[in-house]
Structure 1
Amino acid sequence: MDNFDNMLDKYAKLAVEVGVNIQKNQTLVINSPIECTDFARLLAKHAYALGAKDVHVEWYDEEMMLMRYMNAPYEVFTKFPKWQVDKMEGFAEEGAAFISVLASDPELLKDVDPKKIAEDKKTKGVALKGYMDRIMADEVCWSVVSVPTKGWAKKVFDGLPGDEAVDKLWKAIFKTVRADHDDIITAWQQHLDNLERRVKFLNEKRFKTLHYISEGTDLTIDLPPDHIWCGGGEYSQKDVYFVANIPTEEVFTLPHKTGVNGKVRSTMPLNYNGNLIEGFSLTFKDGKVVDFSADRGYDILKGILETDAGSLYLGEVALVPYDSPISNLDIIFYNTLFDENASCHLALGAAYPTCLKGGAFMSRDALKKAGVNDSAIHEDFMIGSNDLDIIGITADGKKAHIFKDGNWAF
C-alpha cells in the first residue's frame, strides 16, 4: 500500500472509529456524493470491521441536482417526500450513527434561480426538522468529513488541471485531519485534549457578554446564564463519545437569542449549496438581523434569512485562532467544514441545545424561554481575521481579552 492509500485508509478509519465511534451491532448511515464512492466504501469497510450491523448509503448526484434545478418547475421544490422523512427519522430512532461526506462544487448552482434554491432548502429543512432536532441534541452520533471532487478542487486551485487540483486538495485535507501522522488516533487524542483545556477555561470564567471588534465588525453577543462551551468531541445521550467535525479546531457555545447587537462582516466566502456568497455584512438589533448587504450572492443570502423566523437570529458562537493548522495553509477551501475551522465564525439559525445546561432534555418551550434559537437551518459563516479582538465581560463587569489580534489571548 503506497503512502496515499495508507493515509486514505487511516482517514476513513478515523471517521468511523473516532468520528462516530461506531458500536457493535449498530447501523451506520453514510450520506455521500456518487463521486466519492471509493471513500464511502472504505468507511463501510471499517464500520463492518469494528462490528457494525449494517451500513446504508444515501447517494446524491450533483449533476442530477443541477439538471433538476434548471428544468423542474418551481412547484416541485415546495414538496418533500414523506417516505424520505420516515426513513431518516427511522434510522435515528433505531440509534444509527451518521457520517456525511461534504464535497460540493462551489460554482455548481451559480446560474440557478435563487428562489428555487431557497424554497428547496426551506421545504427540506421543515420536513426534516424532527431528524435534525435529534442531531442537534446529540441523540445520535454524527460526523461530517470531506474528500476532493474535481469541481471543488478546481475552484480551490484555480488554473490547475483537474487531476493536479484534486491531488493538491488531497494533500491539504490529509494535513488538516492529521493523516500524515504515524498514529492518527493518538494524534487526535492529543488534539482533543488541547481543545478540552480551552473549553474548561471558558466554562470556569462564565463570561456574560462577548464583544467582537475588527475592521467592519463591532458586535456584542450576550450568552445565556447556563451556557456551556464545547469543543473537540462530545457525548451522545447514550454516553458515547464522538467528534462531529473532522477536522475541528473550534470551541463553541450558543448566544442568547435576543442578546446580539451591532454589525459583523464576513471574512471568507460562504458556499451555500453550490452558490457563493461573498463580502457580506449583517446588522443585528436585539438579536435579529435588521439589515444586510453582500458583494455577491445577495439574493441567496436573502433566501437564507427568509427561511423562517429563526433564520434571522444566531444559533452558534465559535472561536478558532487565526494562527491554526488549517488557517496556516493559507487556502480558502470554499467548503464550510474547513473554512469554519480556519476562522472564528457564527451561525444563523438553530442553536445546539447541548450548549445549555440540561438543554438536550428540555422542551421546545423551555428552550425558547432560556433564549435558545430554533430554526430549520444552521448556516455557519466566517468572521475571523488577524485584527479580531474578542473581549469577555463577566456579570460583574470585569473584562478580559479572549482573543487578541486573531489568536487566543490565554
Structure 2
Amino acid sequence: MEHFNRNLEKYAELVIRIGVNLNKGQDLLVEAPIETLDLTRLIVQKAYEAGANYVHVHWQDDVVTRSKFDYASDETMDYYPEWYTTMLERFVENGGALLNIKVPNPNLYDGIDAALISRASKAASTARAKYQHYVRTGEFSWCLIKAPTEAWASIVFADLPEEQRVPAMWDAVFKINRVYEEDPIAAWRTHLDTLKATRKVLNARNYKALRYRAVGTDLRVELPEGHIWLGGDKGNARGIRYVANMPTEEVFTLPNRTGVDGTVASTKPLNVNGALVDRFSFRFEAGKVVDFQAEVGYEHLARLLDMDEGARYLGEVALVPFDSPISNLNRIFYNTGIDENASCHLALGSCYPINLQGGTTMTNEELKEHGGNSSLIHVDFMIGSAEMEIDGEFADGSIEPIFRAGNWVLTF
C-alpha cells in the first residue's frame, strides 16, 4: 500500500507540473468523479504547493448524471444552464487552468433513447461554444487525465476477478503515464522532446496530402496550405506550456475540409456520449461523410453525424505508431483519451485553429475558407493497426512512405 500511495503522489505531482504546468497565482478547476477522491485530494495538495491561488473541485457522479435521463421532464433535454457556461468563460478569461479526470462509462446510458442523449449533448455543446473555442485555440492551460472507477475497470479488465480490476487499471494508468520511472517528470520531458522532433520533421515536409491503406481503408486526406503539426506540449495565450492529454503519443494537424475522399474503417470501439459504437466505417466524398456503417451503435453514430452541418467533415488527422506504450498493452480501454494514443486516428467535427497558420484569429467562416472545419462536436475515432500503410504526397505529386506495418519509417 505504501508503494501505491507513493506512485499516486508522483502521479498527482506529474499532472500539476507537466500536465497543466500550474504557475504561482493561478486558479485551478478540477473536474473529478467522486470515486477518485484520494487522487483528487493529492492533486489539490500539489496545486497549492505549486502556488495555486484557489482550487475548486467540481465533483461528478454517474448516478447523478444518468438521473436526468431517467427522471427529468422531456423539455429539460434541451436546457443547459447559462450561469455555468458564464462561470467557465470568466474562469478562462481570468487566467485559470483546468484539470479534468476524464473517465466516461461506456454503459452509462444503456437503455436510454439515443435521441434524448443527442438533444442533451447538442444543448451542452451549443451553450459551451465560446468556452470550447477557448479550448481549441489554446487560450488557457487544460489537461485531461485518467483514473480508475469500478465501472470503467470492470469493462476493460472483465477477464480478471472483480477484486483485481481496479488495481490492474491503476497499474495501466501508471505505466502509460511513465509514473514507474524513477523521475516521471524528467521522463516526460524527454518524451515531449521526442514528439517535438517528430512534428518538426513533418512540418518541414509540408505534405500536400496523406494516403492511408489498410483492411477496409483506402483514403486520401488533403492537408490545407499553412497546416501545422503539433504534438506533446503547447503554449497557451500567456505563453505557459501544457499537455492537453495525459497520456499522449500523437502528432496531429487538420485536414482540408473538402479534401477527404475514400473509405476508412475503425479499429477500436468508440464511446459516443456514453454509448458504445463499434465496427464502423465511413465513405467520404469531397470531405463529407456520404455513407456509413456500424455493427454496434448505428443510431448513436447517426445522431452524432446529424449534430450539425460540420459533423460530417473531419477536423483532425493524427499519427501514432502501432508499436507504442499504450498499444503494447494489447488492451482496449473504451476511453478515447487513451485509445487514440494507441492508434492513428481521425476526428469528426471541429478543427483546432492552432493547427493552421493564423487560425486562432480567424472566424469560423474564415477557417472554412482556409480549409478548416467548424462544428459543435470533436470526436476522435481510431483507424490504426499493424497493417496500416501511410504515404506522404508532396505538392509536385511525388510520394514517400511515412508508415509501414503500422509504424514510422521516417527518421526523427
Same fold (TM over 0.5): yes
2:367 matched residue in structure 1: 367
Query: In structure 2, how many angstroms separate the alpha carbons of the residues matched to 1:159 and 1:71?
Result: 34
Query: In structure 2, how many angstroms separate the alpha carbons of the residues matched to 1:176 and 1:148?
Result: 13
Query: In structure 2, how many angstroms separate the alpha carbons of the residues matched to 1:118 and 1:363?
Result: 26
Identity %: 46
With the length of structure 2 as denominator, give the TM-score of the two structures. Answer: 0.98
| Range moving further from structure 2, 296-305 or 271-280 | 271-280
1:11 matched residue in structure 2: 11
Q: How big is the shift at 1:366?
A: 2.0
| Map 1:131-142 → 2, pairs under 5 A | 131-142=131-142
1:347 matched residue in structure 2: 347
| Map 1:69-88 → 2, pairs under 5 A | 69-88=69-88
1:188 matched residue in structure 2: 188
Query: In structure 1, how many angstroms separate the alpha carbons of the residues matched to 2:101 and 2:162?
Result: 20
Query: In structure 1, how many angstroms separate the alpha carbons of the residues matched to 2:158 and 2:273?
Result: 20
What amino acid maps onto 2:166 in structure 1?
V
Paired residues of 1:12 and 1:39 also in contact (CA < 8 A)? yes
Query: In structure 2, how many angstroms separate the alpha carbons of the residues matched to 1:115 and 1:257?
Result: 27
1:380 matched residue in structure 2: 380
Q: 1:280 is paired with a residue of what secondary structure?
A: strand
Over 6 Å off, 4+ runs: none
Unaligned runs of 5+ in 2: none
Q: 1:231 is paired with a residue of what secondary structure?
A: coil
2:104 matched residue in structure 1: 104
Q: How big is the shift at 1:363?
A: 2.7
2:324 matched residue in structure 1: 324
Paired residues of 1:140 and 1:236 also in contact (CA < 8 A)? yes
Q: 1:334 is paired with a residue of what secondary structure?
A: coil
1:143 matched residue in structure 2: 143
Paired residues of 1:315 and 1:378 also in contact (CA < 8 A)? yes
2:236 matched residue in structure 1: 236
Q: How big is the shift at 1:103?
A: 1.1
| Map 1:266-305 → 2, pairs under 5 A | 266-305=266-305
1:307 matched residue in structure 2: 307
Paired residues of 1:104 and 1:149 also in contact (CA < 8 A)? no
With the length of structure 1 as denominator, give the TM-score of the two structures. Answer: 0.98
What amino acid maps onto 1:15 in structure 2?
V
Question: How many residues are paired up?
Answer: 410
2:119 matched residue in structure 1: 119
What whole-Å deviation, never above 9, does each CA across 1:144-188 have from its counterpart, x for those lacking one?
001000000000011434331000011011000000001001000
What amino acid maps onto 2:75 in structure 1?
E
Query: In structure 1, how many angstroms separate the alpha carbons of the residues matched to 2:170 and 2:41?
Result: 17
2:216 matched residue in structure 1: 216
Query: In structure 2, how many angstroms separate the alpha carbons of the residues matched to 1:259 and 1:4?
Result: 49
What whole-Å deviation, never above 9, does each CA across 1:72-95 have from its counterpart, x for those lacking one?
233211111111111111111111
Q: How big is the shift at 1:274?
A: 2.3
Q: How big is the shift at 1:65?
A: 1.5
What amino acid maps onto 1:393 in structure 2?
E
Q: 2:342 is paired with a residue of what secondary structure?
A: coil
Q: How big is the shift at 1:379?
A: 0.5
1:396 matched residue in structure 2: 396
CA root-mean-square deviation: 1.0
What amino acid maps onto 2:117 in structure 1?
I
Query: In structure 2, how many angstroms separate the alpha carbons of the residues matched to 1:271 and 1:237?
Result: 31
Paired residues of 1:150 and 1:162 also in contact (CA < 8 A)? no
- Cα 1:26–1:377 change in 2 (3 A) is same
| Range moving further from structure 2, 97-106 or 178-187 | 97-106
Q: How big is the shift at 1:273?
A: 2.8
1:163 matched residue in structure 2: 163
| Range moving further from structure 2, 241-250 or 354-363 | 354-363
Q: 1:403 is paired with a residue of what secondary structure?
A: strand
Query: In structure 2, how many angstroms separate the alpha carbons of the residues matched to 1:274 and 1:157?
Result: 18
Unaligned runs of 5+ in 1: none
1:26 matched residue in structure 2: 26
Query: In structure 2, how many angstroms separate the alpha carbons of the residues matched to 1:142 and 1:130?
Result: 15
What amino acid maps onto 1:147 in structure 2?
A
Q: 2:7 is paired with a residue of what secondary structure?
A: helix
Paired residues of 1:345 and 1:383 also in contact (CA < 8 A)? yes
Q: How big is the shift at 1:71?
A: 2.4
